């Protein structure tokens, strides 16, 4: 039996226990990037929320099928390719590849499917045909539009005011303002210089909203469990997805809608258009640790705004260091032979609190606080009577599970090779001392101190930690 988890559903505006249509199997669709440039870390806040969501569901015992689309045809990708004079494919493939590199750097688990919009044109056409048959679509000047007056449920997700609707008023852009409650484009008539497909709808290309309806239902079924995105997706994108999908099938499209609040910079949403953004690459080039970026972006529950500052990032790096320091102390301390000072009850408490936080609409702040309380208890035990082998084994398992969910325990990759280098120097210092070459031993200590590494000679050998 999977563990219970509750979410605040944007659609019902209530906190609800997740109850997948198929027992124990969560099918979820996460709106992916528009591959027209390097995503900024605001975009990654949303993608990391979805990663923690996926990892939590798995740790709670659910099977997860996640789909994340890659929007490789829309107003922005077409404009970008045209500006560079390259084909749409050549243009988007570059950003596609960059996106997956970023996901790896941030430790994001792969979804089960990454459909590209340009590979789903026949399904999109079929969806428009179904909408036309059911009276929800009409053609004007070679483009096909969704008639929102034909769908009484329009507005149920975003709560927009339908009194604003002006019959017959249309909008052709993929993105538009909240005030524009108008018939939106499903299929756009081909234009000079734009990619175009010859289809029964006439030559043209899909609108952005249509892409997500076709790909989500194609891979997850006409009704599925969870759909996520950033709050800016609620209107018009997700409202339009509901209208298209339910208009075509007559069935409920998605049960649970989850929306991540934005990453802010000095009171404004981080956005390409405002110029107040950092890409992941910008930060990595400054030498910042991707793990600290991950830690910062997941540290605030997804429904709350998060303000980005470099102080915040340094605090996140300190959080990561604290985990690493404790793990190294643990690894270098032999098991207690007596009772030890860390009791199994501390682990019970940690596990209960960590899970309770996540089960409460994915409260990552509460889960992280539980982890830091555990680290405090571990450090106190190491200062005192130590930790027995039995409790140590449980602790290792708890930390491994924490990492499976949050992905912030510094092991492997860059962290590990930096640690290996430090440990190599410490071994050289031990050898120098044995050989009574104290000048060399002191030299190594100084060299390490310059890198912020503090050594402590204990009866069990030399242990080290990074200074604050």
Q: Quick check: bond before 410 cis, omega within 30? A: no
Tell me phi and psi for residue 254, to 5 degrees.
Answer: -130, 140
Q: Is 98 helix (H, G, I), strand (E, B) or coil?
A: helix
Which two structure tokens, joined as six digits, stand for 224?
Answer: 């599925």
Residue 229 is a binding residue for ligand AMP (CB under 6 A): yes
DSSP one-letter string for 147-212 = -GGG-TTTTTTT---GGG--TT-EE-SSS--TT--SEEEEEEEP-TTS--B--TT-SEEE-HHHHH
Stretch that binds Zn ion, among 15-23, 33-41, 192-200, 207-215 (CB under 5 A): 207-215
Residue 212 is a binding residue for Zn ion (CB under 5 A): yes
Name the binder of 33 from ligand AMP, Zn ion, none, CB < 5-8 A by kind.
Answer: ligand AMP
Residue 236 is a binding residue for ligand AMP (CB under 6 A): no
What gap in Å lies between CA 29 and CA 262, rounded to an integer?
19
Residue 209 is a binding residue for ligand AMP (CB under 6 A): no
Tell me phi and psi for residue 139, to 5 degrees.
Answer: -105, 140
Q: For ligand AMP, which is the closer residue by CB, 66 or 402?
A: 66
Q: For ligand AMP, which is the closer residue by CB, 117 or 336?
A: 117
Residue 374 is a binding residue for Zn ion (CB under 5 A): no
Q: For ligand AMP, which is the closer residue by CB, 9 or 46?
A: 46
Among 230, 324, 392, 410, binds ligand AMP (CB under 6 A): 230
What gap in Å lies between CA 244 and CA 178, rounded to an integer?
18
Ranges within 11-30 binding Zn ion (CB under 5 A): none
CB of 315 to ligand AMP, least distance (A): 19
Which two structure tokens, joined as six digits, stand for 19?
Answer: 């109850």
Stretch that binds Zn ion, among 37-45, 115-123, 195-203, 208-216 (CB under 5 A): 208-216
Residue 31 is a binding residue for Zn ion (CB under 5 A): yes
Ranges within 39-58 binding ligand AMP (CB under 6 A): 42-43, 45-46
Ranges within 2-31 binding ligand AMP (CB under 6 A): 31
| 8 Å CB contact between 199 and 121 | yes
| 8 Å CB contact between 5 and 20 | no
* CA-wise closest residue to 297 among 214, 365, 349: 365
CB count within 10 Å of CB 445 equals 19
Name the binder of 212 from Zn ion, ligand AMP, none, CB < 5-8 A by kind.
Answer: Zn ion
Name the binder of 56 from Zn ion, ligand AMP, none, CB < 5-8 A by kind.
Answer: none
Beta strand 306-307 pairing with 263-265: parallel
Q: For Zn ion, which is the closer residue by CB, 254 or 316?
A: 254
Q: For Zn ion, which is the closer residue by CB, 242 or 300?
A: 242
Instruction: Give the length of the chain.
Output: 468
The residues binding Zn ion (CB under 5 A) are: 31, 212
The residues binding ligand AMP (CB under 6 A) are: 31, 33-34, 42-43, 45-46, 229-230, 232-233, 260, 262-263, 269-271
């Amino acid at each position: 039996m999977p563990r219970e988890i509750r979410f605040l559903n944007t659609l019902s505006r209530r906190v609800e226990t997740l109850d997948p249509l198929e027992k124990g199997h969560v099918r979820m669709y996460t709106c992916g990037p528009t591959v027209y440039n390097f995503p900024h870390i605001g975009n990654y806040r949303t993608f990391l929320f979805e990663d923690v969501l996926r990892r939590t569901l798995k740790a709670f015992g659910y099977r997860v099928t996640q789909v994340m689309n890659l929007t490789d045809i829309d107003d922005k990708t077409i404009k970008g390719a045209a500006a560079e004079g390259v084909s749409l494919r050549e243009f988007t493939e570059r950003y596609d590849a960059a996106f997956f590199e970023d996901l790896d750097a941030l430790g994001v688990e792969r979804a089960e499917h990454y459909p590209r919009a340009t590979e789903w044109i026949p399904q999109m056409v079929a969806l428009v045909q179904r909408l036309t048959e059911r009276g929800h679509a009409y053609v004007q000047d070679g483009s096909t539009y969704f008639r929102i007056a034909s769908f009484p449920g329009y507005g149920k997700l975003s709560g927009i005011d339908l009194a604003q609707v002006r019959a017959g008023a249309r909008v052709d852009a993929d993105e538009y303002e909240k005030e524009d409650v108008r018939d939106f484009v499903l299929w756009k008539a081909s234009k000079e210089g734009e990619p175009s497909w010859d289809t029964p709808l006439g030559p043209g290309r899909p609108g952005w909203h249509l892409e997500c309806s076709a790909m989500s239902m194609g891979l997850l079924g006409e009704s599925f469990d969870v759909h996520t995105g950033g709050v800016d997706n609620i209107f018009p994108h997700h409202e339009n997805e509901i209208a298209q999908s339910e208009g075509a099938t007559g069935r409920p499209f998605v049960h649970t809608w989850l929306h991540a609040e934005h990453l802010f910079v000095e009171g404004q949403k981080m956005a390409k258009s405002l110029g107040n953004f950092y890409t992941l690459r910008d930060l990595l080039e400054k030498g910042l640790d991707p793990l600290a970026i991950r830690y910062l972006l997941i540290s605030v529950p997804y429904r709350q705004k998060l303000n980005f500052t470099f102080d915040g990032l340094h605090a996140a790096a300190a959080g990561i260091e604290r985990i690493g320091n404790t793990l190294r102390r643990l690894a270098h301390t032999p098991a207690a032979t007596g009772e030890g000072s860390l009791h199994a009850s501390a682990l019970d408490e940690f596990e209960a609190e960590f899970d309770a936080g996540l089960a409460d609409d994915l409260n990552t702040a509460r889960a992280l606080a539980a982890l830091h309380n555990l680290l405090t208890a571990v450090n106190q035990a190491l200062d005192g009577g130590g930790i027995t082998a039995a409790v140590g084994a449980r602790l290792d398992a708890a930390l491994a599970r924490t990492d499976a969910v949050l992905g912030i325990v510094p092991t492997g990759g860059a962290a590990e090779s930096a640690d290996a280098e430090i440990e190599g120097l410490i071994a050289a210092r031990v050898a120098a001392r044995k050989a009574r070459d104290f000048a060399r031993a002191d030299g190594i200590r100084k060299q390490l101190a310059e890198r912020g590494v503090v050594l402590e000679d204990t009866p069990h050998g030399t242990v080290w930690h990074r200074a604050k």
